[in-house]
Amino acid sequence: MRSPFLSFMQAGFECSCHRFPDGRRLDLISSTGHDRWADSDYAAAASQGIHTVRDGVRWHLVGRASRCYDWSSLRPLVAAANAHGTQVIWDLCHYGWPDWLDIWSARFPEEFARYAAAAARLLSNESAVPPVYCPVNEISYWAWAGGDMAHFGPCAMGRGPELKRQLVRAAIQATDAILEVDPGARLLAADPLISIHASFDGDEEAAREADAAQFEAWDMLTGRWEPGLGGDPRYLDIVGLNYYPHNQWRLGGPTVPPGDPQYRPLRQLLASAARRYGRPLLIAETGAEGGARADWLRYVADETAQALQAGVPVTGICLYPITDYPGWEDDRACPTGLFGVPSADGERTVHAALAVEVERQSRRFAGLLTEEPDPGSTWPAAGADGG
């Protein structure tokens, strides 16, 4: 299978930039030091055999007014990527948007599409390696966290379905705008991959319905759900699956950990997504904290290898975040990364056990992958399984 990515093992630089109900805005590219040390960060990733990364364009900094763009926060990252031959998957909207724009308005998708076109014009012209775009990160999760739970912007309750539709409109219009500028662009649609289990006899159907909701945003993009939004199979290119140790739980209850009798192997979840959409898959985020980091990557890689051997078109595994970072709510030190916090001169410590595992898995997947036609053109059209 020929992958659209330079490396199977990938790195994700946390780029969340949303606002909390108290008005505080996050900017993880800044708080992790990546804005200051992008060159050494990309060099460190390349030294570990990682040549594809996820990173972010901070819309709230770029788009300070309608049709007026300031690229000074982005160009240093592009230059760093160019210096190290790094391929970047650019998140154009990672939960944050400019304060002057109402996310609920009809204007929102239009302004986002203009900004996406402008970003694509700059990135396609200035990137040494053709970029990949993720227009809106985690539409389903954002709709729940921001539209139903008021956890972060737009800090609403009970408006999750409405926010999901609005974000899908924005992603569709942005995709059209990107492809008009860069017709050969590849696009990623990333959302959590989950499995919800029954808590007791009798709630199996409720668990199945809750589990199926994870597919709504992707189904809207393809037009199989709420076709009035304008969805079409062409809007779903690479399916990004974000998967963490807490992504399986009992309905209304606790997390189901690996090893639990109810736990569904990751390879089964990957196969199900492949059957549903007939598109190439990317594990677009995965990782664990502390001493569990290497073991978790080993589990994900083992399951991915089995899926690949069964013909599931997985194109990569992205460690996310690749650096330690300050916790969203409390700024606690979150030891999740291959790389630690930067020193005064930008050096980051390397988590030795995870580095060994990354190197081992890079060799493993290099041996597993063979040259075949691009899965983007050979796998069945979206919805081929009728699910």
Total of domains in the chain = 1
**Closest by CA position to 185, among listed 117, 244, 250, 109:** 117
Decide if 2 is inside a domain. Answer: no
| Percent with pLDDT over 90 in the chain | 93
Phi/psi for 46 (5° steps) reads: -60, -35
pLDDT 10s digits, 236-263 = 999 999 999 999 999 999 999 999 999 9
pLDDT 10s digits, 351-367 = 999 999 999 999 999 99
The encoded tokens of residue 149 equal: 């739970």
Decide if 384 is inside a domain. Answer: no
Decide if 315 is inside a domain. Answer: yes
Decide if 48 is inside a domain. Answer: yes
Decide if 126 is inside a domain. Answer: yes
Decide if 173 is inside a domain. Answer: yes
Length of the chain equals 387
On whether the CB atoms of residues 275 and 387 are closer than 8 A, the answer is yes
Domain around 327: 9-378
Peptide bond into 280 cis (omega under 30): no
**Closest by CA position to 255, among listed 196, 172, 202:** 196
Separation in Å, CA 323 to CA 104, 128, 150, 195, 335: 33, 24, 27, 27, 8
Decide if 4 is inside a domain. Answer: no
Decide if 127 is inside a domain. Answer: yes
pLDDT 10s digits, 172-226 = 999 999 999 999 999 999 999 999 999 988 899 999 999 999 999 999 999 999 9
Phi/psi for 284 (5° steps) reads: -80, -20
**DSSP reduced 3-state for 282:** strand
**DSSP reduced 3-state for 176:** helix
CATH number of the CATH domain containing 250: 3.20.20.80
